[in-house]
Structure 1
Amino acid sequence: MQSTKLTPGDSIEARCTKCRKNTAHVILTLGEKEPLTVECGSCARQHKYRPPSSPKKPVARRNTNSKDAERKEWETLRPSMNGANAHEYSMTGTYKVKNLINHPIFGLGLVQRVVGAQKVEVLFEDGKKMMRCK
């Protein structure tokens, strides 16, 4: 909190419940330690004081090393794959680990693992993809 004493009418940064972001607010009423109600400077909505939220961490992206590893794995497994034995991919199909599938966009793929009830992880030439299944 701030080291100076707050009074009604002071400006403070808070999280607006309507704008859904940190904006400048005017203090309307005070409690013992912090403001009770504030008014947003952007949308003029009056609401309970909510401290400003901290910025979210960026989503971690898969690094290129894992993509390279997936390509190498594909290259080692590809000679043993027979495209004639591959099942045509369908979202309503059921698949097991080591099943070969033929996807209309991604091409030939090998089921690596079953993830939950309706997803499988498939290794394609472009890398691993999560696919829906029955």
Structure 2
Amino acid sequence: MITKELSAGGRIETTCSRCNDITGHVIVAMVGDVIVKVECQACGSVHKYREIRKPKLKSETSGVRRVRHGESREQAVSQARSEAAKKAAQTRANQRAQQEAEAVMIAWKSVIVSKGTNDARPYTMRESYAAGDIVDHPTFGMGEVQSVTRPDKMEVLFKEGVKVLRCTL
């Protein structure tokens, strides 16, 4: 049996990342005896070398959930899908909450830096405020009045987010 030695310029069969199929490739770059880059002869793309992987058997897949006694196959599939959907929804919700918190933090910092804290008024429910005023709250810290709504409420942008506080008009 003759073994074919691989070298740059040689031809091999491997998986193409653009075609998503096993096609003929030309070896473009090697590091020692390891193939690093190849060029697909079908589409012409140059990409990293990927070995041909054997398809997994259904029993080897990680997403398989066994049917329990007294449970139908449809119930098992539905349960597995709902668990995966819950995880995905939780991940998306966490990402969205983190992005919103970062946006609030950026808005708060820009307001505090631009207006400064020298003219901040201590917060009390018996005071009247206007949009744009800087308020110093004992719990939430410095904030900017975003809007005042009748009869006795205002929205204030704090570091933790927008809070609704009482005031007089």
With the length of structure 1 as denominator, give the TM-score of the two structures. Answer: 0.50
Radius of gyration: which is bigger?
2
Higher relative contact order by CA 8 Å / sep ≥ 6: 1 or 2?
A: 1
- Greater percentage in helix: 2
Q: TM-score, normalised by structure 2?
A: 0.40
